[in-house]
Chain A
Amino acid sequence: MNAQHSNSNERRQRYWRRNLRLVAILLVLWFALSYGASILLAPWLNQFRIPGTGFRLGFWMAQQGSIVAFVALIFVYARRMDRIERVEGVEERDEEGQR
């Protein structure tokens, strides 16, 4: 009983560390794509065009690309966390213990 308890505690801690790591990685991407590519580097990126369109890259990132990236980041997070929850066995269950 005691061993089981400490095992579950360990899993909860591992779950939390993996969550923090994933959040940190995704937030770095979030910053790089919005503040980086769409603001700080936008003037430099504007010298390039997206092939086949009239979009300058920095401008496109600021008005389209960053928004698409935000949506993708959240879905990636939701998917990965589902997996981490399952692997560490910390999903919520309803009254009958169903997942």
Chain B
Amino acid sequence: MNVQAWTFVIVGLSFALYIAIALWSRAKSTGEFYVAGGGVSPVANGLATAADWMSAASFLSMAGIISFSGYDGSVYLMGWTGGYVLLALLLAPYLRKFGKFTVPDFVGDRYASQVARIVAVVCALFVSFTYVAGQMRGVGVVFSRFLEVSIDTGVMIGMGLVLFYAVLGGMKGITYTQVAQYCVLIFAYLVPAIFISIQMTGHALPQTGFGADVQGTATPLLDRLDGLHAELGFAAYTRGSKSMVDVFFITAALMVGTAGLPHIIVRFYTVPKVRDARWSAGWALLFIALLYTTAPAVAAFARTNLIETVSGKEHATLPEWVGKWEQTGLIRFEDRNGDGRVQYLADPAQNELTIDKDIMVLANPEIAGLPDWVVGLVAAGGLAAALSTAAGLLLVVSSAISHDLLKRALLPRISEHGELRAARISAAVAVVAAGYVGIHPPGYVAEVVAFAFGLAASSFFPALVLGIFSRRMNAAGAVSGMLAGLVFTASYIVHFKFLSPELNRPEHWLWGISPEGIGTLGMCVNFAVAWCVSRVTPPPSEDVQRLIDRIRVPSGAGEAHEISA
């Protein structure tokens, strides 16, 4: 069997599995549709959260980004894992005790304010929708690369599949397909990583192979890589080139943004008890860490492999995979000095080779000469990562419309049956809209995702944390804080990314903070404004005080599982 046949078989089998799970776990009530009836075990929820969290970007792009930026890539590794500590310690258990279905539910009830609820709905819709468009695009890219259909057809197939199981199964169907998708994606990530680690260092574990000596020599791999970088004029791999301030702020924005993303927070409503929410956060991060500690090893292996394969070699003698990727335009070679050799250098005036970061994971099996079925496996893994994240996000979009907007704000007397139908319809509309954006991408998908994190960090996170830990925080404070954080962050990002991108350089940034890291400052603005405004306005009512007492302690009135009734 050739690569194509293997890919069809493996991807086909994984899709059949997802569909079977969806049929088995149809949602019958709104409770099942929004939060899987609150009956998911902590380990299963951990697996589902991990799949929900790890998107096409984590699976396909992250190792490539680290590979090209070395130490600087740590911002993603720490930023996209450290947020779970905040989530487990500051949000998950209390939101679980609160119960209900969505993040705007909590904001609206805690601040007893429809304005706060609507602001939260708008943030949730914006954050989730920008994110989902990137996922649909990822599905299309994987399809077009491995199955040789057009990107648009790929997006359509992905839409059809997500439509089927998200609309039918709601959170219940999504949860159990995500468990299966985690297994597919982690297997697909680890198999090539282990093969390559053995080839390069003789260690089966990429996590230790990464720090070992290059096979057959006494030089540590990372030292070899630093040496190669120095020869070619790149910054040292283990030290990086970003300023410390910027690394600090980007890491913080990603961490806090992670803790404020609604599709991750709602996953903690699906477990039976408060203590399950805490354990579940631990399991989720453990499953995520399996991929996130492998990624930097893959990055270092791929970087060393790449430089040694191409640098200074005759273009005509390069291995076959280089030519294959040149056809897709993701590798470009331009022989500036006409000597037929590849000069891969940091200096843009002399460099002759441009490589797209995204191919590092996809090309890895070919670079390392792994068997054909591994390539099919990587394709199935990339699809699992993109589809699982897309489904989780679509559920947030649909529940924000049917539950927060219709049931809680516009049509409070809507029946259970009517709400469930509205949820299914809005999920279907959201899938189609996301597919449309995936087929006609607005050209700045990557910028928009950075936007989503900055906004989640500067809007949701402070409102949620203050709502739990401060009795004095009231609606006026929370709403003005959210708006101040949002406006500050959005205008900084819009200024540098969309209005005057030519100024987007460190010397123009405020205190050396890039637009990717500005969400951290936006969060501080939010906290400060919320605190000041709440001091000069009346404290929250008796009812709200009782609600705060209730969510802080696991036992007592309104125990977590009562929502399933």
Contact = CB atoms under 8 A, between A and B. Distances in A.
Interface of A: 12, 15-16, 19, 23, 26-27, 30, 34-35, 38-40, 42-43, 46, 50, 53-56, 59-60, 62-64, 66-68, 70-71, 73-75, 77-78, 81-82, 85, 89-94
Interface string B540-565: 00000000010011111001110000
A68 B223 CA distance: 23
Interface string B195-225: 0000000000001101111000000111100
Interface in B507-565: 549, 552-556, 559-561
Contacts of B248: 35, 39-40
Nearest to B273: A92
Contacts of A68: 289, 293
A7 B561 CA distance: 25
Interface stretch (B164-172, B275-283, B426-434): B275-283
B207 A77 contact: no
Interface stretch (B80-88, B105-113, B370-378): B80-88
B77 interface: yes
Contacts of B289: 67-68, 70-71
Contacts of A91: 275, 554-555
B286 interface: yes
By secondary structure, the B interface counts as helix
By secondary structure, the A interface counts as helix
Nearest to B79: A34
A26 B211 contact: no
Interface in B215-252: 220-223, 238-239, 244, 247-248, 251-252
Given A63-B77, A68-B293, A75-B282, 6 more contacts: A12-B552, A26-B89, A60-B211, A67-B293, A78-B282, A82-B275
A85 B212 contact: no
Interface of B: 66, 71, 73-74, 77-78, 81-82, 84-85, 88-90, 93, 207-208, 210-213, 220-223, 238-239, 244, 247-248, 251-252, 255, 273-275, 278-279, 281-282, 285-286, 289, 292-293, 296, 549, 552-556, 559-561
16 contacts: A30-B85, A38-B78, A40-B248, A46-B238, A53-B208, A54-B213, A62-B71, A63-B73, A63-B293, A67-B292, A74-B281, A75-B286, A77-B278, A78-B275, A91-B275, A91-B555
Contacts of B89: 23, 26-27, 74, 77
Contact of B239 (A16, A39, A43): A43
A63 B88 CA distance: 21
A71 B238 contact: no
Given A16-B553, A78-B278, A55 B222 contact: yes
B334 to A, nearest CB: 33
Contacts of A43: 239
A63 B73 CA distance: 8
B221 to A, nearest CB: 6
A50 B292 contact: no
Contacts of B81: 66-67, 70
Top 10 nearest A-B pairs (CB, nearest first) are A54-B220, A53-B211, A62-B74, A74-B282, A55-B211, A63-B296, A78-B278, A90-B555, A59-B238, A74-B88
A74 B85 contact: yes
Given A30-B82, A92-B274, A92-B561, A71 B282 contact: yes
Contact of B77 (A62, A85, A94): A62
A92 B211 contact: no
A34 B82 contact: yes
A43 B242 CA distance: 13
A93 B82 contact: no
A39 B71 CA distance: 10
Contact of A62 (B78, B88, B213, B278): B78
A39 B296 contact: no
A34 B77 CA distance: 11
A71 B285 contact: yes
Contacts of B296: 63-64
Contacts of B549: 12
Contact of A67 (B77, B93, B238, B251): B77
Nearest to B214: A54
B559 A38 contact: no
B42 to A, nearest CB: 9
Given A74-B278, A85-B275, A40 B244 contact: yes
Contacts of A42: 71
A46 B239 contact: yes
Contacts of B90: 23
A22 B281 CA distance: 17
Contact of B223 (A27, A54, A85, A92): A54
B212 A74 contact: no
